[in-house]
Amino acid sequence: MPRSRDAASVWPALERSFADLFSPWTVAAIIAREPTSLEEEIKEIRRSGSNRDLDSAPEFEMSDIFYFARRGVESIMDDEVTKRFSAEELESWNLLTRSNNNFHYISLRLTVLWGLGLLIRYGFLLPLRVTLAFTGVGLLVFLTCLIGLLPSGRLKNFLSEKVHLMCYRICVRALTAIITYHNSENKPKNGGICVANHTSPIDVIILASDGCYAMVGQIHGGLMGVIQRSMVKACPHIWFERSEVKDRHLVAKRLSDHVEDKTKLPILIFPEGTCINNTSVMMFKKGSFDIGATVYPVAIKYDPRFGDAFWNSSKFGMVNYLLRMMSSWAIVCSVWYLPPMSREADEDAVQFANRVKAAIARQGGLVDLLWDGGLKRGKVKDTFKEEQQKLYSKMLGKTCIVIYH
């Protein structure tokens, strides 16, 4: 059994740790601190509590628990994951209730401006945008069904691309989207995979209004299901049943078959698997990087000053979200087409995915995070807890790891 100090020698370290933890400068000290290793922090805690150092006593000490307690409080106060799933904070108010519902009570002038904006957005812009949206979606369903009656060939492909571009551009105008495309020479080509960071469902029409893509997704019911069934008649999109999505081998096989045909449109995939709030890029799922096809990275960055494009799916339904988008001032964004990337000989799918993700984050000015976006709805994996246990055990020179459940 490891030897520990008696209670009398532990209390001074505990009192100092609590004093530091709950001092008036705690928030600033915890969040704004220099990155240090576990071993360095443990040494500092032990020096403040007794004269025994880690080198002279490489065994468990009661005060060591305060390193993990402090890191836990830091994670709660400055959570890198949770804050990525709420609307991005603005430096100034944009006269939208979405950014803050109480700012228009600050002064009479702001109240008048907010009221005028309300009349313009809901009285004029919203009805016009809703009309354009129904027009775009209606034309997409009707025309793709007609094109689906034609035999496969160049004419069908040509008409399908023109119809898709026209309808997507009508839908983009329904959002008053102002889009700037950069480096168009790097646009995805047939037989490749286009991967992009994911902020909103409208990412699809933002990209598809500048070029045609084969979509990948799960089959839905209702209006979305009608749109999917009509689209696949004119273009070889890849839709999966709910049971098929869980079969990774089937998904990989269908994707691989698609990219091998150089006459088919590039596949559009959002590897994060969930919407992130326009501030960062989270872990890319490795499936689309394990196929061996050329990857065309795309970085999308929205300007939240005129309207926040982030979809908080746990708070707003699709209809509510679209209405909030259409009642904003405008959707302003920049799209960067990055040079194509291929998997290197000594690189596995995870490393390749991380390299692509880093390039997208760097170009879009986003924070590159290693966390899985699935943590939005799930619990932290045990492997993350075990990693800290292994580091501490290794520091003490032990060969046995005890995991408490």
> Which tops the pLDDT comparison, 65 or 215?
215
337 three-class SS: strand
The dihedral over CA atoms of 174, 175, 176, 181, expressed in degrees to the nearest 10, equals -110
Dihedral sign for Cα atoms in the order 146, 152, 158, 161 = positive
b (16+ CB within 10 A) / e for 140-165: bbebbeebbeeeeeeebbebbeebbe
pLDDT of residue 114: 80
| Closest of 210, 179, 195 to residue 298, by C-alpha | 195
Is 76 a residue whose pLDDT tops 60? no
Strands 238-240 and 214-218: parallel
CA dist 132 and 13 (Å) reads: 67
Q: What is the DSSP string of 23-56?
A: STTHHHHHHS-----HHHHHHHHHHHH-S--TTT
Higher local confidence (pLDDT), 283 or 25? 283
Q: What is the mean pLDDT of residues 369-378?
A: 70
Structure tokens given for 77: 């106060």
- Give per-residue pLDDT as tens, 252-269: 788 888 888 888 889 899
Q: Are 206 and 181 in contact (CB under 8 A)?
A: no
Mean pLDDT of 304-317: 81
**Residue 94 to residue 103: CA distance in whole angstroms:** 10
Residue range 78-90, pLDDT digits in tens: 566 666 666 666 6
Is 9 in a helix, a strand, or coil? Answer: helix
**Distance between CA atoms of 305 and 82, rounded to whole angstroms?**
22
Confidence at 167, pLDDT banded by 50, 70, 90: very high
For residue 10, the model assigns a pLDDT of 47
For the record, the structure tokens of 261 come out as 């045909």
Q: Residue 124 class from Cβ within 10 Å (0-12 exposed, 13-18 middle, 19+ buried)?
A: exposed
Average pLDDT, the chain: 77
Domain ranges of the chain: 7-78, 103-371, 379-405
Answer with the residue of higher pLDDT: 65 or 296: 296
Higher pLDDT, 334 or 217: 334
d(CA 311, CA 302) in angstroms, rounded, equals 12
SS3 category, 129: helix
pLDDT digits (tens, 9 = 90+) for 197-250: 998 888 999 999 998 898 887 777 777 778 888 888 888 888 877 666 666 777
> Exposed/middle/buried for 354, CB within 10 Å: 0-12, 13-18, 19+?
middle
